[in-house]
Chains A and B, each alone.
Chain A
């Protein structure tokens, strides 16, 4: 495929999304201007953007802690999910012992847990990392465990016939087989991670988009609340895009199946 055609086709793919989002924003803008609703109740998108530009130093100052909480929390969660997935894969009974605990951890309402964790661990980075890990750990663990299980049986018996040890089979077959599942989990979890970080900050923080949103709300500034939301949405989309990019780089064979065969 030539570059220009590739660009044209990817433009064609995002066109419907651009159209629907654009229509929504235009309708909102029109309603805010024509209905005479107070901007302290529902600010128009144009006002949100203008305020975001005007307050960018404060917004930036509060965005950076959110980014570091998201990434650090997510990194911890990934590391833990990987270690536990390997343990479960090698010692199957562990799954029955551990999964109920993890499932219960997913039923805890964040509204109750977030303030408690802040109460116990303070206003620093630690409670944010914990909350992000709490909401992303289980989806990543399930993705990895399912991914290992999706290994083609023929490949495993082939490796066994070659004399490969269970560790060798894990590294040569089960781990690479889990990649599509891993990346599917990654795309979902990264969106949870941003929301988790903001929620943790909302429950108590010195800096961060969450506490910024809380303060803006208390000052009757919905335009600044929405400006912070705009930034968190952009942040999520960027992280989402990065995971797709990493997947493309890590799995170059994935796109080939659809292409023409000789």
Chain B
């Protein structure tokens, strides 16, 4: 565990009388794709807010590269649930947002991002406004805005939750390819079991609120995972679903 990029130890968070996170311990190794899977309202997004500095934990530790996460460092690039593209900025200027906030001049930020448009399937849409793009394209633009910040780790909060099923499947395949290609370290929040199995090396299954880690599941499937309907994938999926729907009673 010493090689972990990110490690959460016994994280605890409450809002007033409401216990949201009871005891969260998990780790992500460099280059690993890890998912946090849990019921809606289980506090999954709260974990990300603790990481990005929006909230402070009431207990526990967050270690990044072995040292406690300092407030001024920001090793994470965050992609929110909805694409959060600014309707008043052209796509190119939406994707440079993170670089601009870091203090890079607009022109150099554009030059940095422009070569990546083809790979993200956005070639020719640099000067379009978000309203002119389809849902899938908007998500790809949002991911481009996330990865171009060159942070050590990606935090993806249900990035495909708002897309239709067909677009979502296409985006999942595309994301897997991109992840293999770029060697990102990624932590994904989702409530879609199939998405978690398809994309992850490991999955942490959370309980309902107050959230604890119910199970840690290693997904041994080989990559690329073109075949979503393979018996191995289906077996893992069924196993997780069973865990979520009939959680083992606490003792």
> Which residues of A are interface residues toward B (Cβ below 8 A)?
152, 154-155, 157-164, 168, 172-173, 176, 179, 251-253, 256-257, 259, 261-262
Interface string of B21-53 (1 = CB under 8 A from A): 000000000000000000000000000010011
With A251-B88, A262-B133 known as contacts, the answer to whether A161 contacts B82 (CB < 8 A) is no
Shortest beta-carbon distance, B15 to chain A, in Å? 16
Query: Are B88 and A163 touching (Cβ within 8 A)?
Result: no
Going nearest first, the 3 A-B pairs with the smallest beta carbon separation are A154-B84, A161-B78, A161-B52
Contact at B53–A176, with CB atoms within 8 Å? no
Q: Given known contacts A160-B52, A162-B98, is B129 in contact with A253 (CB within 8 Å)?
A: yes
Chain A CB within 8 A of B95 CB = no
Tell me whether B169 is interfacial, beta carbon within 8 Å: no
Docked-complex contact B88 and A160, CB < 8 angstroms: no
The one of A161, A168, A179 that contacts B53, using a Cβ cutoff of 8 Å: A161
The SS class assigned to the B binding surface is loop
Judging by beta carbons under 8 Å apart, are A152 and B54 in contact?
A: no
Q: Within the complex, which residue of A157, A252, A256 is in contact with B54, where a contact is CB–CB below 8 Å?
A: A157
CB-based contact A162/B149 at 8 Å: yes
CA of A251 to CA of B86 in the docked complex: distance in angstroms?
12
Contact (Cβ within 8 A) A257 B86: no
> Which residue of A is nearest B132, CB measured?
A256
Residue contact B74 to A155, C-beta cutoff 8 Å? no
A173 to B133, CA, bound (A): 20
Identify the closest chain B residue to A162 (Cβ): B101
| Residues of B with C-beta under 8 A to A168 | 101
B222 beta carbon closer than 8 Å to chain A: no
B198 within 8 A of A: no
For A164, the chain B residues whose CB sits under 8 A away are: 101
Give Cα A253–Cα B129 distance, bound, in whole angstroms: 6
Taking a contact as CB atoms under 8 Å apart, the answer to whether A157 and B80 are in contact is: yes
Residue from A173, A253, A257 having most chain B Cβ neighbours under 10 A: A253
- Give every chain B residue within 8 A of A155 (Cβ-Cβ): 84, 86
- Assess whether B134 is in contact with A261, with CB atoms less than 8 Å apart: yes
B81 contacts the other chain (CB 8 A): yes
Chain A residues with Cβ below 8 Å from B82 are 152, 154
A97 to chain B, nearest CB (A): 28
- Name the CB-closest residue of A to B129: A253
Residues of B within 8 A of A172 (CB): 86, 97, 101
Q: How many residues of B contact A (CB 8 A)?
A: 29
> Can you name 11 A-B residue pairings with CB atoms under 8 Å?
A155-B86, A157-B54, A157-B78, A158-B80, A162-B97, A162-B101, A163-B74, A163-B101, A172-B86, A251-B88, A253-B130
Question: Please, how many angstroms separate the alpha-carbon atoms of A252 and B132 in the complex?
Answer: 12
Whether A261 pairs with B132 at a CB distance below 8 angstroms is: yes
Counting CB contacts under 8 A, is B235 at the interface? no
- Besides A155-B84, A155-B86, A157-B78, 8 new A-B residue pairs in contact (Cβ under 8 A), listed by A number: A152-B82, A154-B84, A157-B80, A162-B74, A179-B88, A257-B131, A262-B133, A262-B137
Q: Is B102 an interface residue (CB 8 A)?
A: yes
Main secondary structure of the interface of A (DSSP, over half): helix
- What are the residues of chain B within 8 A of A163 when measuring CB–CB? 74, 101-102
Distance, CA A160 to CA B155, complexed state (A): 14
B149 to chain A: closest residue by CB: A162
Closest to B48 in A: A161
Q: Which of A161, A163, A173, A179 has the most CB of B within 10 A?
A: A161
List A contacts of B49 (CB < 8 A): 157
Let me know if B204 is at the binding interface, CB within 8 A: no
Q: Which residues of A contact B125 (CB under 8 A)?
A: 262
Interface residue? B76 (CB, 8 A)? yes
B residues near A256, Cβ cutoff 8 Å: 129, 131-132
> In angstroms, how far is the closest chain B Cβ from the Cβ of A156?
9
Is B60 an interface residue when CB atoms closer than 8 A count as contact? Answer: no
A253 and B87 form a contact (CB under 8 A): yes
Instruction: Determine the distance from Cα of A159 to Cα of B97 in the docked complex, in whole angstroms.
Output: 8
Chain A contacts for B131, CB-based, 8 A: 253, 256-257, 259, 261
A256–B49 CA distance with the chains assembled, in angstroms: 33
CA separation between A158 and B84, bound complex, in Å?
A: 8
Flag if B132 contacts A259 (CB, 8 Å): yes
CA A152 – CA B102 in complex, angstroms?
21
- By a CB distance below 8 angstroms, the chain A residues around B132 are 256, 259, 261-262
- Contact across chains for B54 and A161 when beta carbons are under 8 A apart: yes
B86 to chain A, nearest CB (A): 6
- Complex interface bits, B118-137 against A, C-beta within 8 A gives 1, otherwise 0: 00000001000111111001
Flag if A161 contacts B76 (CB, 8 Å): yes
CA distance A256 to B134 in the complex (A): 13
In-complex Cβ contact of A176 among B88, B137, B149, B155 (8 A):
B88
